[in-house]
C-alpha cells in the first residue's frame, strides 16, 4: 500500500525566504513520485514572498496554488447563520 506523506506549514509567511525557496525542489523522491508533499498556508504576505522566488526549479515543482478571497456580505451572513 502506498502512503502519502504531507507536511502542512501554517503561518508560512513567517518562514525565512531561503526556507520557502528550497522546500519544494528539495523534497525527497523515489523513482516514481515525491515522498513528501509540502503545503504552505499563510497570510497575503506568503503570496508576495513566493512571487519573489527566483529559483525556477522551485516554481516548476509547484503543483497547485490557491488564493482564498474574502467572503462577500452574503457569504458571511450564510456562514454566521450556519455556525
Residue 54: its pLDDT value, please? 58
- Residue 31, in any domain of the structure: yes
pLDDT at 37: 86
Q: Is residue 45 part of a domain?
A: yes
Q: Closest by alpha carbon to 49, among 65, 33, 35?
A: 65
Sign of the Cα torsion 59, 24, 17, 43 reads: positive
The pLDDT-based confidence of 72 (bands split at 50, 70, 90) is very high
**In this structure, is residue 75 part of a structural domain?**
yes
Q: Which domain holds residue 53?
A: 6-82
pTM of the model as a whole? 0.61
Q: Does any domain span residue 65?
A: yes
Is the confidence at residue 75, as pLDDT, over 80?
A: yes
The count of structural domains within the chain is 1
Is residue 1, in this structure, part of any structural domain at all?
no
The pLDDT tens digits of the residues spanning 22-54 come to 445 555 566 666 678 889 999 988 888 888 775
Amino acid at each position: 500500500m502506498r502512503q502519502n506523506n504531507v507536511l502542512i506549514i501554517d503561518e508560512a509567511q513567517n518562514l525565512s525566504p531561503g526556507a520557502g525557496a528550497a522546500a519544494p525542489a528539495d523534497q525527497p523522491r523515489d523513482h516514481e513520485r515525491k515522498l513528501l508533499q509540502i503545503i504552505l498556508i499563510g497570510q497575503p504576505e506568503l503570496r508576495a514572498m513566493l512571487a519573489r522566488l527566483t529559483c525556477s526549479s522551485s516554481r516548476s515543482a509547484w503543483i497547485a496554488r490557491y488564493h482564498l478571497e474574502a467572503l462577500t456580505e452574503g457569504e458571511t451572513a450564510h456562514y454566521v447563520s450556519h455556525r
